[in-house]
Copies of this chain bind each other. A is one copy, B any other.
Amino acid sequence: MFFASDNGSGAAPEILAALTRANEGYARSYGADPIMGRVKTLVRQLFDAPEAEVYLVATGTAANALSIALLTPPWAAVFAHADAHAAVDECGAPEFFSAGAKMIPVAGDHGKMTPATLTAALSRVGEAGVHGVQRGMLSLTNVTEAGTVYTPAEIAALTAVAKARGLPCHLDGARFANALVATGASPAEMTWRAGIDILSLGGTKNGCFGVEAVVMFDPAKAWELELRRKRAGHLFSKHRYLSAQMEAYLTDGLWLRLASQANAMGARLVQGLAQVPGATLRHPAPANMLFPLWPKGTNERALARGAIYYPMPAPEGQESGRLVASWSTTGADVDAVLAALTP
């Protein structure tokens, strides 16, 4: 009954096996391992992007903050949803990596900005000449912090607003595979074909030990990214262990299989919650993360029964929670938590 976060799950057996295999013998360090070459090829194939450059780091915060710092100067604004992880959950990492860029919150229901809310935010910043910060970039998140997803068309509509002002676009894909599965989109459709310039491609939450890829569809700043990664202490000496995770993750569709299981368990939760008296969803939940509302007393009961998830702030008279399914969540887990939630 562990639904606190998908980062509470372990690594998938295939990932562990790959790590074990990669542990044989000696390897050149700092990214010169042969596995990394194969990772690059895999990413290019999967994204239909033969020019893309790929760098591995071990945390999502590193992937996001490096990507953001690469795309914005210090005196500019990063337009991101008000609830974006980079904006509120990384202790100022974008500000640190970018030497002081400014996160500008963009409004939007269910964790999603719209062309209208983005346009409104853009019109409030960058009009003051030298006195205010400049417009720097757009950062989207898919799956969003609310558990909702953007379709490729929605992403394209947002990047079009940004690109009309010359702004580059980043996608925080900590749960990118879950978003692909939820929308049926291809990696290319969800990224560069929709105007994304750089992607944080998450592995950690979806069955890896700890690996994220920064995928640059325009390789022009690749060397700068390498320098920023090293300078930030994110270049691994025994890099083969990052490579091995990512290779296994992207091989034979493992990443999509793992995400499919997580999303399927999310759907099962949605279905089951429909039977829990008084339970509703604050946001649509097409992927693996749900934010239910339920009657007072529910959290105490469920947690006492062994359910593990985060209670969340709720409107007066109700309670709320955040439940996240992962690649390792089973139907039995879902059924157990539903039982725990039911009076």
Binding site for B on A (CB under 8 A): 2, 4-5, 7-11, 16, 19-20, 23-30, 57-66, 73-75, 88-93, 95-103, 128, 130-134, 204-205, 209-210, 224, 226-238, 241, 308, 328
CA distance A57 to B237 in the complex (A): 13
Known A233-B61, A238-B204: A131·B91 in contact at CB below 8 Å? yes
Q: Contact: B23 with A8, CB < 8 Å?
A: no
10 closest Cβ pairs, A-B complex: A62-B233, A95-B100, A61-B233, A7-B237, A2-B26, A99-B99, A91-B230, A91-B231, A10-B23, A8-B26
Q: Contact: B59 with A93, CB < 8 Å?
A: no
Q: Contact: A25 with B5, CB < 8 Å?
A: no
Q: Contact: B132 with A88, CB < 8 Å?
A: yes
A to B CB contacts below 8 Å, 30 in the list: A2-B26, A8-B29, A11-B241, A16-B23, A58-B236, A59-B234, A59-B237, A62-B233, A74-B95, A74-B96, A74-B99, A74-B231, A75-B92, A75-B96, A75-B228, A88-B132, A91-B131, A92-B231, A95-B95, A95-B100, A95-B101, A99-B100, A100-B100, A130-B227, A130-B235, A134-B227, A204-B238, A205-B237, A210-B237, A210-B238
CA distance A223 to B89 in the complex (A): 17
Q: Give the copy number.
A: 4
Which residue of chain B has the shortest Cβ distance to A89 in the bound complex? B131
Q: Contact: A59 with B233, CB < 8 Å?
A: yes
A27 touches which of B8, B102, B234 (Cβ 8 Å): B8
Q: Contact: B130 with A237, CB < 8 Å?
A: no
Contacts of A131 in B (CB 8 A): 30, 88-91, 230
Which residue of chain B has the shortest Cβ distance to A9 in the bound complex? B26
Contacts of A231 in B (CB 8 A): 74-75, 90-93, 96
Give chain B nearest CB distance to A79 CB in angstroms: 15
Q: Contact: A236 with B59, CB < 8 Å?
A: yes
Contacts of A66 in B (CB 8 A): 233
Give chain B nearest CB distance to A1 CB in angstroms: 9
Known A10-B25, A24-B10, A96-B231: A60·B237 in contact at CB below 8 Å? yes
Give chain B nearest CB distance to A20 CB in angstroms: 6
Known: A8-B26, A20-B20, A23-B209. 13 other contacts (CB 8 A): A4-B26, A8-B27, A10-B238, A11-B238, A59-B233, A62-B234, A63-B233, A74-B99, A90-B131, A96-B100, A204-B238, A205-B237, A210-B238
CA distance A212 to B183 in the complex (A): 40
Give chain B nearest CB distance to A57 CB in angstroms: 7
Give chain B nearest CB distance to A37 CB in angstroms: 17
Q: Contact: B93 with A101, CB < 8 Å?
A: no
Q: Contact: A209 with B233, CB < 8 Å?
A: no
Q: Contact: A130 with B16, CB < 8 Å?
A: no
Q: Contact: A30 with B91, CB < 8 Å?
A: no
Which residue of chain B has the shortest Cβ distance to A12 in the bound complex? B23
Contacts of A57 in B (CB 8 A): 233
A11 touches which of B23, B102, B224, B236 (Cβ 8 Å): B23
Q: Contact: B233 with A90, CB < 8 Å?
A: yes
Give chain B nearest CB distance to A261 CB in angstroms: 15
CA distance A133 to B233 in the complex (A): 13
Known A128-B89, A133-B92: A7·B235 in contact at CB below 8 Å? no
